[in-house]
C-alpha cells in the first residue's frame, strides 16, 4: 500500500520504518528540513534499538523515502498517518494545532479517496474534528474516512512493540476503511480490536493512565512497606502471580517520567473535566508520583545528614533505560532539588548525557560509573541501565569518600551490598548499614 506518515518523531519514524519493512511504499514527511536531510543520509535523530537498520535497509530498497514536501507525499498516498506532536499547552491540554494543520493540508491536496489515520495521542473527539476540518477545506468533495489507530510503543523497544504488538486498536466507522486497515495490519498476526473512533481515542488515554496508576499504586505500597518493615519486591511478586493483576508495571521506584505518562495523565484529567467529570483517582496518581521523587531526595538527605557541600554521584539520567530521552525525566527534579540544597553533582548515563546538558546545569559529567563514584559521599541510582547492575563494588567502595548507595530503582540485593560494606538504602525495603 502507498502510505504517507506525517511527522518524523518517535512515533512517525518507527511507524514509517516498520510499515516499509512490511512491504509497503512509505514516504515520511517532516517540516524540519535538517532532520529530513539527515534521514536521507541515514542519520536517525533518536536512539531506538533496530530503527537505524530498518531505515537504512528500506531506504536502500526504495520502500522508504523522506521528504519535507507534505502536499506531494499526501497526494501520492492511499493512507495518511498523522504522527505529529501534540505537546501540552500551559493548562495541560494537548495542543492540536499541528494535527489541524495536517488535516487542512490533506483536504487541500486530496483528489482521490484516502484513509486518514490519527496515530498521535489525541483527546477523544479529535477524530470528529479532523473529519470536520477536512470536509470544510476539501473543495472537490473527495470521499475519505478518518480512523483512530493509537500507538502503544514504548521508547527503547518501539520497533519490537510495533512488529509484535499485544493488540492493534482501530477506531473506524466505515466498512471500506475497516477492510483497508485489516489488510494493512494482516502481516502482524496480532488481534485487531475494531471500535468506534471515540472509544479508540479513549483506549489510548485509559491504557497509559492505567499503567501510571499501577506505578503509583505500587509506590504507595512501597511507602507502607517502608513503614511496616516489609519488602515491596516480594509484595509485587506475590500480587503479580494473580493473572488479573500481573507483575508488569509493579516496579516501585522514583515514579514515572517521560513524554507520555505525565503529559497523557494531565491531558486525560483535563478531558474528563471538560465533560464534567472530576478524575480524582488520576489526580492522586499524579500526586503520589510527584511525592515519590521528593521522598527519594529525602532519603539521600537523611542519610547524609547535611547535603551542603557533599558530592553526590548520579547513575542514570534518562527517564528510563535504553533511551537518551530526558523529557520529564525524574533525574531533573531530583538533581535540581539536591543542587538547591548545595550538593555538588557528578553524573554518568550511557546515552543521555548530551541531551542532559541542555536541561541540567553545573554537573560534572563522567565517562563511566567509577569516575562518577570517585570522591562521592553518596551514589544514587536514578535509571536502571543494565550496565549498573553488575558493578565492581570493591572498586566503587575504594573510590567513594563514604560507602553509601541510595537506589531509586531497587536493582541490588540489600544483603549483598551490606556484605560489600555499603550502607544501602532503597525503595520499599529495609535499609541496611
Ligand atoms: C509508554 C507506554 O508504555 C506505551 O505503551 C505508550 O505507547 C507510550 O507511553 C506512549 O504513549 O507513547 P514509555 O513512556 O516509552 O511508554 O515508557 P514505559 O516503559 O511505559 O515507562 C514509563 C515510565 O514508567 C518510566 O519512567 C519508567 O521508569 C516508569 N515505570 C515503568 C516504573 O516506574 N515502574 C514500572 O514498573 C514500569
Nearest CA to ligand 1 atom 18: 154
The DSSP H or E segment spanning 201 is helix 197-228
CA of 319 to the centre of ligand 1 (A): 9
Domain 209-433 has CATH 3.40.50.720: yes
Bridge partners, 65 (sequence order): 27
* pLDDT for the residue numbered 140: 81
Which of the following is catalytic: 83, 172, 260, 366? 260
Nearest CA to ligand 1 atom 2: 154
Q: Is 258 in the pocket of ligand 1 (CB under 6 A)?
A: yes
Closest CA to 265 of 123, 409, 98, 100: 123
* pLDDT for the residue numbered 46: 86
Only one residue has cell 497526494, namely: 75
Question: Could you tell me which CATH number the domain at 2-195 has?
Answer: 3.40.50.720
Sheet holding 192-195, edge to edge: 64-67, 25-29, 2-6, 79-82, 114-118, 144-148, 168-172, 192-195
Q: Is 251 in the pocket of ligand 1 (CB under 6 A)?
A: yes
At residue 57's C-alpha, the angle toward residues 56 and 59, to 5°, is 65
For 149, list phi and psi in degrees, rounded to 5. -135, 75
Per-residue pLDDT of the chain (433 residues; tens, 9 = 90+): 999 999 999 999 999 999 999 999 999 999 999 999 999 999 999 888 999 999 999 999 999 999 999 999 998 899 999 999 888 898 888 899 999 999 999 999 898 999 999 999 888 999 999 999 999 988 788 999 999 999 999 998 999 999 999 999 999 999 999 999 999 999 998 999 999 999 999 999 999 999 999 999 999 999 999 999 999 999 999 999 999 999 999 999 999 999 999 999 999 999 999 999 999 999 999 999 999 999 999 999 999 999 999 999 999 999 999 888 999 999 999 999 999 999 999 999 999 999 999 999 999 999 999 999 999 999 999 999 999 999 999 999 999 999 999 999 999 999 999 999 999 999 999 999 9
Atom number of ligand 1 nearest to Cα 384: 28
CA of 154 to the centre of ligand 1 (A): 6
Q: Which residue out of 152, 165, 169, 256 has the highest number of ligand 1 atoms within 8 Å of its CB and is therefore the one to mutate? A: 256
Q: Is 320 in the pocket of ligand 1 (CB under 6 A)?
A: yes
CA of 114 to the centre of ligand 1 (A): 33
Q: Is 260 a catalytic residue?
A: yes
62: left (phi over 0), alpha (psi -120 to 50) or beta: left
CA of 402 to the centre of ligand 1 (A): 34
* pLDDT for the residue numbered 169: 98
Q: Is 152 in the pocket of ligand 1 (CB under 6 A)?
A: yes
Q: How far apart are the first and last CA of the chain?
A: 62
Q: Is 153 in the pocket of ligand 1 (CB under 6 A)?
A: yes
CA torsion sign for 26, 29, 33, 35 is: negative
* pLDDT for the residue numbered 138: 85
* pLDDT for the residue numbered 146: 96
Q: Is 213 in the pocket of ligand 1 (CB under 6 A)?
A: no
Q: Is 317 in the pocket of ligand 1 (CB under 6 A)?
A: no
Nearest CA to ligand 1 atom 7: 152
CA atoms within 13 A of residue 276's CA, in its CB half-sphere = 0
Residue 205 to residue 185: CA distance in whole angstroms: 22
CA of 109 to the centre of ligand 1 (A): 37
State the span(s) of the chain assigned CATH 3.40.50.720: 2-195, 209-433
Name the CA dihedral angle for 223, 227, 242, 157, rounded to a multiple of 10 degrees. 30
Amino acid at each position: 500500500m502507498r502510505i504517507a506518515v506525517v511527522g518524523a518523531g518517535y512515533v512517525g519514524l518507527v511507524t514509517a520504518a516498520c510499515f516499509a519493512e512490511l512491504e509497503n511504499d512509505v514516504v515520511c514527511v517532516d517540516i524540519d528540513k535538517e532532520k529530513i536531510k539527515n534521514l536521507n543520509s541515514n542519520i536517525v535523530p533518536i536512539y531506538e534499538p533496530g530503527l537505524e537498520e530498518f531505515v537504512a535497509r528500506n531506504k536502500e530498497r526504495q520502500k522508504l523515502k523522506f521528504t519535507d514536501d507534505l502536499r506531494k507525499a499526501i497526494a501520492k498516498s492511499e493512507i495518511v498517518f498523522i504522527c505529529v506532536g501534540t505537546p501540552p499547552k500551559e493548562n495541560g491540554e494537548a495542543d492540536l494545532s499541528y494535527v489541524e494543520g495536517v488535516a487542512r493540508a490533506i483536504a487541500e491536496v486530496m483528489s482521490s479517496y484516502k484513509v486518514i489515520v490519527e496515530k498521535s495521542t489525541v483527546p477523544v473527539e479529535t477524530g470528529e474534528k479532523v473529519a470536520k476540518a477536512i470536509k470544510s477545506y476539501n473543495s472537490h468533495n473527495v470521499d475519505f474516512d478518518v480512523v483512530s489507530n493509537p500507538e502503544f510503543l514504548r521508547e527503547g523497544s518501539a520497533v519490537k512493540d510495533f512488529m509484535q504488538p499485544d493488540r492493534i486498536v482501530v477506531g473506524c466507522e466505515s466498512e471500506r476503511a475497516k477492510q483497508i486497515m485489516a489488510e494493512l495490519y494482516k502481516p502482524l498476526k496480532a488481534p485487531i480490536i475494531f471500535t468506534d473512533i471515540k472509544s479508540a481515542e479513549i483506549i489510548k488515554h485509559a491504557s497509559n493512565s492505567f499503567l501510571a496508576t499501577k506505578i503509583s499504586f505500587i509506590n504507595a505500597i512501597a511507602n507502607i512497606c517502608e513503614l511496616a518493615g516489609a519488602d515491596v519486591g516480594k509484595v509485587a511478586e506475590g500480587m503479580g502471580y494473580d493473572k488479573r493483576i500481573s507483575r508488569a508495571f509493579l516496579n516501585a521506584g522514583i515514579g514515572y517520567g517521560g513524554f507520555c505518562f505525565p503529559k497523557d495523565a494531565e491531558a486525560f484529567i483535563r478531558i474528563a473535566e471538560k465533560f464534567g467529570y472530576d478524575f480524582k483517582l488520576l489526580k492522586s496518581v499524579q500526586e503520589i508520583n510527584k511525592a515519590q521523587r521528593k521522598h527519594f531526595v529525602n532519603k539521600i538527605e537523611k542519610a547524609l545528614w547535611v547535603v551542603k557541600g557533599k558530592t553526590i554521584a548520579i547513575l542514570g539520567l534518562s527517564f528510563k533505560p535504553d533511551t537518551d530521552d530526558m523529557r520529564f525525566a525524574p533525574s531533573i527534579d531530583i538533581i535540581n532539588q539536591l543542587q538547591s540544597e548545595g550538593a555538588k553533582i557528578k553524573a554518568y548515563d550511557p546515552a543521555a548525557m548530551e541531551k542532559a546538558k541542555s536541561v541540567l546545569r553545573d554537573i560534572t559529567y563522567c565517562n563511566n560509573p567509577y569516575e562518577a563514584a570517585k570522591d562521592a559521599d553518596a551514589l544514587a541510582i536514578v535509571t536502571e541501565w543494565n550496565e549498573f547492575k553488575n558493578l565492581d563494588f570493591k572498586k566503587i567502595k575504594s573510590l567513594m569518600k563514604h560507602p553509601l548507595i541510595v537506589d531509586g530503582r531497587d536493582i541490588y540485593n540489600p544483603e549483598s551490598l551490606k556484605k560489600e560494606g555499603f550502607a544501602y538504602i532503597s525503595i520499599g525495603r529495609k535499609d541496611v548499614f
